[in-house]
Amino acid sequence: MNNRSSLRGSLLLLLGAVIWGAAFVAQRMGMDNIGPFYFTAIRMLMAWLALLPVVMMNDRRKRKTGRTAPSAEDRRRQRKAGLICGLLLFSASSLQQVGLVETSAGKAGFITALYVVLVPVAGWLLFRRNPGRVIWLGVILALLALYLLCIPEGGFRLERGDGLVLGCAVCFTGQILCVDRFAPTVDGLRLSRDQFLVTGVLSLAVALLTETFSLQGVRDALIPLVYTGVFSGGIGYTLQIIGQREVNPTVASLLMSMESVFAVLTGALLLGERMTGRETWGCVLMFSAVILAQLSPVISAGMQKKERLS
């Protein structure tokens, strides 16, 4: 991995973070014209379509390198992974989309980023993997951040929109753990494609039962739909795949976690959203918790080395 390719990979990941951060604004704007479940259904099916050519190119590349075609058992495992991860992605996306009706894009971006801290904690609860002291410090910072972001001053009531987005972060935690479980045995691009399809179909089913379809509404929301589907889903994921090949995993995670910062910036620029001083401090603490979670392996290794030398 040379410096030039590492720089290119970092720029691609940073671009991906910008795209994902702005997607929070697009999601909020889109719901001015269309219901949350129709919005999720259309954007996920667009993302599925956008990934199809990427998957085909990846398959062609594998054939050229002489890799064998997947067996029946491999295909069965792939379908199982896509279904389970798709169910969790559907839950997370639905909670986030409905929550965005009642909260700002910037706050949603930072509350959603809580999954970065929750993943190692969930790993400890479920699989007894000790996350270490640095992660626990990150958990404390994240809880303080949630209090400042979600609980109004002088009260202890969790706002409904913030609560839904918090549920989204929990579901994303489960989805990431499932991806981590299946990743060694399935194709990553195919898994992403399959979970987009499952989420799109389930969202469409709920939309047909609970929302009124408006073709004019879809036309009016077309730009946010295309952005969140093609750019955030298809292009954003492809940038992540390419970028992570050329960048240290810790650096890659840090760059991708910048999406919460770009969610606030684009929310302020495009929607005129403004945060109170209390909410701003909440964002600072949440971002600090995310950074700690990503740097945990490096910090822990440094602490252990220092203890051995002392």
User: Residue ranges per domain, the chain?
Assistant: 3-309
pLDDT of residue 57: 87
Q: Which of 259, 255, 294, 290 is nearest to 142 (CA)?
A: 290
d(CA 245, CA 228): 24
Which token pair is 128? 């007894």
Full-model pTM: 0.79
* Radius of gyration of the CA atoms of the chain, in A: 20
Encoded amino acid at 28, one letter: R
Q: Are 122 and 173 in contact (CB under 8 A)?
A: yes
Q: Are 166 and 111 in contact (CB under 8 A)?
A: yes
Reported as half-sphere exposure (CB side, CA atoms, 13 A), residue 108 has a value of 31
d(CA 5, CA 243): 9
pLDDT of residue 35: 92
Q: Are 107 and 145 in contact (CB under 8 A)?
A: no
Interacting residues of 111 by C-beta distance below 8 A, sequence separation 6+: 103, 146, 149, 150, 162, 165, 166, 168, 169, 286
One digit per residue, the tens of pLDDT, for the chain of length 310 reads 556 667 788 788 889 888 988 988 898 888 888 999 999 999 999 999 988 988 888 888 877 777 767 778 888 999 998 999 999 999 999 999 999 888 888 788 878 878 877 877 887 888 777 777 777 887 788 778 877 776 666 665 678 888 999 999 899 888 888 887 887 788 878 888 999 999 999 999 999 999 999 999 999 999 999 999 999 888 887 787 677 777 766 566 667 777 878 888 888 888 887 877 887 888 888 788 777 777 777 777 776 666 666 6
Question: What are residue 304's phi and psi, to 5 degrees?
Answer: -65, -40
Q: Dihedral angle at the C-alpha atoms of 249, 252, 254, 258, nearest 10 degrees?
A: -160
